[in-house]
Amino acid sequence: MLSTKQPVLRRFWYALMPLDHLKDGPKPFTLLGEPIVLFLDAKGEPAALEDRCCHRTAKLSKGWCNNGNIVCGYHGWEYDRDGKLVMIPQFPFEQPVPEAKARSFRAKARYGYVWVALDEPLSDIPAIPEDGAAGYRRINQFYDKWNTAALRLMENSFDNAHFAFVHKGTFGDINQPKPEKYEILETDCGFDAETIITIRNPPGAYRITGTTEPTTRRHQRNKWFMPFCRRLDMEYPSGIRHIIFNCATPISDGQIQVVQLLFRNDTEADCSTQELIDWDAAIIAEDRDMLESTDPDAIVDMGRKIEMHMPSDRPGMIMRKRLLDLLRQHGEEELPRQPLAQARLG
């Protein structure tokens, strides 16, 4: 599935950028192949427009903000948060501004990020109950571009069979390759998946897990939110909750913006922010190295039998089936990459 070729994927919310990045002016972002510009309006709320001026198509992201409007850096044309042209500095004061607009998109601030939906959303931004809850702290861990597909990251997140191999340098045990099974309950917006796994606990993880034992167990109560968000809720016997929330935001068919938030029910004195970032950085670096080697055209129509599967792939197979159903419910079929010879004939 090539994300930019499936219009229904425009009908979901995606985390694009930390809100703080907009404090010093507008910023560009490409979502599902659509170049947009993000900025803050007069109330400090995020706004999103097509990154093109109506005049000479210059990128609005090269301009600046003025009292909550965005000013094109080419000729100074000014637009409000809805994309309406409100000022042309070359016109005399008494001359009315013509009716013109830059396309606007829905934008919200949530969890310290700007979220955007390109078309009417089918569901709301996933809820994170721990955000702002007593006893929990939020750490904005990672904001990186990966050269892979959003679906590859999503199904990898629920793939217990890769731990022993991909994560042999952190928590995986290559001598124990048999994966634990998930209990999965499908929901309207995706599924809930629960399991208990045993992991290695090297010295660098002692304060992460809250134990100095050489191995420990993780009770995982995880969620997948269609299409490309996930929650990994890991509870250790020490009582520590290590809750990771990701949005794999599709930039293009071969690149995603990985947003990772962490919620912990301990304190900075118990385990510092830097320790938590360093530990999870090592883990996602292992994932990234492998996922960037995969074909970004992850096929959702398993009837085409392009990729082989095994029983532990069940979460990813459910994802693929649900995404294929989503496409068909909206009158679409999967549009995979054309073979080179076919593309040339076309």
In the prediction, which pLDDT does 339 show? 58
Residue pair 269/252 in contact (Cβ under 8 Å)? The answer is no
Which three-class secondary structure string do you get for 13-81?
Answer: CEEEEEHHHHCCCCEEEEECCEEEEEEECCCCCEEEEECCCCCCCCCHHHCEEECCEEECCCCCCEECC
Across 176-196, b (16+ Cβ under 10 Å) vs e yields eeebeebebeeeebbbbbebe
In the prediction, which pLDDT does 340 show? 41
Give the DSSP letter of residue 84: B
DSSP string, 112-172: TEEEEESS--SSPPPP-TTTT-TT-EEEEEEEEEESS-HHHHHHHHT-GGGHHHHTTTTT-
Nearest to 250 by CA among 228, 231, 226, 225: 228
Give me the torsion for CA of 201, 207, 212, 217, rounded to 10°.
Answer: -50
Q: Angle at Cα 27 formed by Cα 284 and Cα 31, nearest 5°?
A: 60
111: left (phi over 0), alpha (psi -120 to 50) or beta: left
Cis peptide before 96 (omega within 30 of 0): no
In the prediction, which pLDDT does 147 show? 97
Entry field: residues in the chain: 346
Nearest to 199 by CA among 225, 228, 185, 220: 220
Tens-level pLDDT at each residue, the chain (346 residues): 999 999 999 999 999 999 999 999 999 999 999 999 999 999 999 999 999 999 999 999 999 999 999 999 999 999 999 999 999 998 888 788 888 999 999 999 999 999 999 999 999 999 999 999 999 999 999 999 999 999 999 999 998 777 777 888 888 777 777 778 899 999 999 999 999 999 999 999 999 999 999 999 999 999 999 999 999 999 999 999 999 999 999 999 999 999 999 999 999 999 999 999 999 999 999 999 999 999 999 999 988 887 888 787 899 999 999 999 999 999 999 988 765 434 444 4
User: For residue 114, with 0-12 CB atoms within 10 Å meaning exposed, 13-18 middle and 19 or more buried, which class applies?
Assistant: buried
User: For residue 261, with 0-12 CB atoms within 10 Å meaning exposed, 13-18 middle and 19 or more buried, which class applies?
Assistant: buried
How many other C-beta atoms can be found within 10 angstroms of the C-beta atom of residue 31?
24
How many other C-beta atoms can be found within 10 angstroms of the C-beta atom of residue 63?
24
